[in-house]
Amino acid sequence: MIQDSSWRPLPGFLTIKESNIEGLGLFTTETLPAGTDLGITHIYDTRFQDGYIRLPLGAFINHHEIPNCNAILSENDPITGPLKHIRIVTLVDLAEGTEITVKYIINKLENPNWEKEYEITQ
Protein backbone atom coordinates (compact mmCIF):
# COMPACT_ATOMS: atom_id res chain seq x y z
CA MET A 1 0.00 0.00 0.00
CA ILE A 2 1.24 3.49 -0.84
CA GLN A 3 1.61 5.65 2.22
CA ASP A 4 0.79 9.34 2.23
CA SER A 5 3.82 11.42 1.27
CA SER A 6 4.53 15.12 1.51
CA TRP A 7 6.88 14.94 -1.51
CA ARG A 8 5.92 17.11 -4.48
CA PRO A 9 7.74 17.47 -7.79
CA LEU A 10 7.74 21.26 -7.24
CA PRO A 11 7.62 23.38 -4.10
CA GLY A 12 4.13 24.74 -3.35
CA PHE A 13 5.24 28.29 -4.21
CA LEU A 14 5.95 27.35 -7.86
CA THR A 15 3.82 26.18 -10.78
CA ILE A 16 4.18 25.44 -14.49
CA LYS A 17 2.24 27.39 -17.10
CA GLU A 18 2.55 28.87 -20.59
CA SER A 19 5.55 31.15 -21.01
CA ASN A 20 6.02 34.23 -23.17
CA ILE A 21 9.68 33.23 -23.47
CA GLU A 22 9.44 29.64 -24.71
CA GLY A 23 6.83 26.90 -24.37
CA LEU A 24 6.11 26.28 -20.72
CA GLY A 25 7.82 28.08 -17.85
CA LEU A 26 8.15 28.01 -14.09
CA PHE A 27 6.18 30.70 -12.22
CA THR A 28 5.77 31.87 -8.64
CA THR A 29 2.42 31.33 -6.93
CA GLU A 30 3.30 33.75 -4.14
CA THR A 31 5.73 36.61 -3.50
CA LEU A 32 9.29 35.39 -2.88
CA PRO A 33 12.06 37.52 -1.35
CA ALA A 34 15.55 37.81 -2.84
CA GLY A 35 17.77 34.98 -1.62
CA THR A 36 15.01 32.35 -1.60
CA ASP A 37 16.42 28.90 -2.32
CA LEU A 38 14.05 27.30 -4.83
CA GLY A 39 15.75 23.91 -4.62
CA ILE A 40 17.80 21.46 -6.68
CA THR A 41 17.44 21.43 -10.47
CA HIS A 42 20.15 18.93 -11.49
CA ILE A 43 22.11 16.17 -9.72
CA TYR A 44 25.52 15.07 -10.96
CA ASP A 45 25.48 11.46 -12.17
CA THR A 46 28.06 10.10 -14.62
CA ARG A 47 25.58 7.54 -15.95
CA PHE A 48 23.89 10.33 -17.93
CA GLN A 49 25.30 11.66 -21.20
CA ASP A 50 25.88 15.19 -19.94
CA GLY A 51 26.79 14.07 -16.41
CA TYR A 52 23.62 15.43 -14.80
CA ILE A 53 20.06 14.22 -14.28
CA ARG A 54 17.50 17.01 -14.50
CA LEU A 55 14.85 17.11 -11.78
CA PRO A 56 11.29 18.49 -12.18
CA LEU A 57 12.39 21.91 -10.91
CA GLY A 58 15.01 22.14 -13.68
CA ALA A 59 12.73 21.08 -16.51
CA PHE A 60 10.86 24.34 -17.14
CA ILE A 61 13.21 27.17 -16.23
CA ASN A 62 13.73 29.44 -19.22
CA HIS A 63 16.80 31.45 -20.19
CA HIS A 64 16.86 35.24 -19.94
CA GLU A 65 19.75 37.66 -20.50
CA ILE A 66 18.69 39.55 -17.37
CA PRO A 67 17.73 36.66 -15.05
CA ASN A 68 15.83 36.93 -11.79
CA CYS A 69 17.48 33.80 -10.35
CA ASN A 70 20.96 32.36 -10.11
CA ALA A 71 22.03 28.77 -10.85
CA ILE A 72 24.57 27.74 -8.20
CA LEU A 73 26.86 24.73 -8.41
CA SER A 74 27.14 23.05 -5.01
CA GLU A 75 28.98 20.05 -3.61
CA ASN A 76 26.85 19.64 -0.46
CA ASP A 77 23.16 19.65 0.45
CA PRO A 78 21.97 20.41 4.00
CA ILE A 79 19.65 17.38 3.98
CA THR A 80 21.44 14.74 1.89
CA GLY A 81 25.03 15.74 2.70
CA PRO A 82 27.74 15.41 0.03
CA LEU A 83 25.94 15.75 -3.30
CA LYS A 84 27.20 17.52 -6.41
CA HIS A 85 24.23 19.44 -7.78
CA ILE A 86 22.84 22.68 -9.20
CA ARG A 87 20.27 24.71 -7.27
CA ILE A 88 18.35 27.90 -8.00
CA VAL A 89 18.25 30.98 -5.75
CA THR A 90 16.29 34.18 -6.40
CA LEU A 91 18.41 37.27 -7.12
CA VAL A 92 15.63 39.81 -6.48
CA ASP A 93 12.21 39.93 -4.84
CA LEU A 94 9.70 38.17 -7.10
CA ALA A 95 6.02 39.08 -7.20
CA GLU A 96 3.35 36.39 -7.44
CA GLY A 97 3.00 35.25 -11.06
CA THR A 98 6.60 36.03 -12.04
CA GLU A 99 8.37 33.62 -14.39
CA ILE A 100 11.58 32.14 -12.96
CA THR A 101 14.55 32.77 -15.27
CA VAL A 102 18.26 32.04 -15.24
CA LYS A 103 21.04 32.91 -17.64
CA TYR A 104 22.35 29.70 -19.10
CA ILE A 105 24.26 28.57 -22.13
CA ILE A 106 21.95 26.44 -24.26
CA ASN A 107 23.29 23.03 -25.33
CA LYS A 108 26.64 23.42 -23.56
CA LEU A 109 25.91 20.29 -21.48
CA GLU A 110 27.05 18.32 -24.55
CA ASN A 111 30.58 19.43 -23.63
CA PRO A 112 31.92 17.24 -20.78
CA ASN A 113 34.14 20.12 -19.62
CA TRP A 114 31.33 22.68 -19.46
CA GLU A 115 31.75 23.24 -15.70
CA LYS A 116 35.40 24.21 -16.16
CA GLU A 117 34.84 26.35 -19.25
CA TYR A 118 31.69 28.24 -18.27
CA GLU A 119 30.92 29.98 -15.03
CA ILE A 120 27.57 28.68 -13.77
CA THR A 121 26.82 31.62 -11.54
CA GLN A 122 26.09 35.00 -13.05
CATH number of the domain enclosing 113: 2.170.270.10
pLDDT value of position 112: 53
Task: Tell me whether residue 3 is in a domain.
Answer: no
Averaged in consecutive runs of 10 residues, what is the pLDDT profile of the chain (122 residues)? 69 92 93 95 85 87 91 85 91 96 67 49 38
Task: Tell me whether residue 9 is in a domain.
Answer: no
Task: Tell me whether residue 22 is in a domain.
Answer: yes
pLDDT value of position 24: 93
DSSP state of 120: S
Q: Where are the beta strands (DSSP E) in the chain?
A: 14-18, 24-28, 37-44, 52-54, 62-63, 69-77, 81-90, 101-102
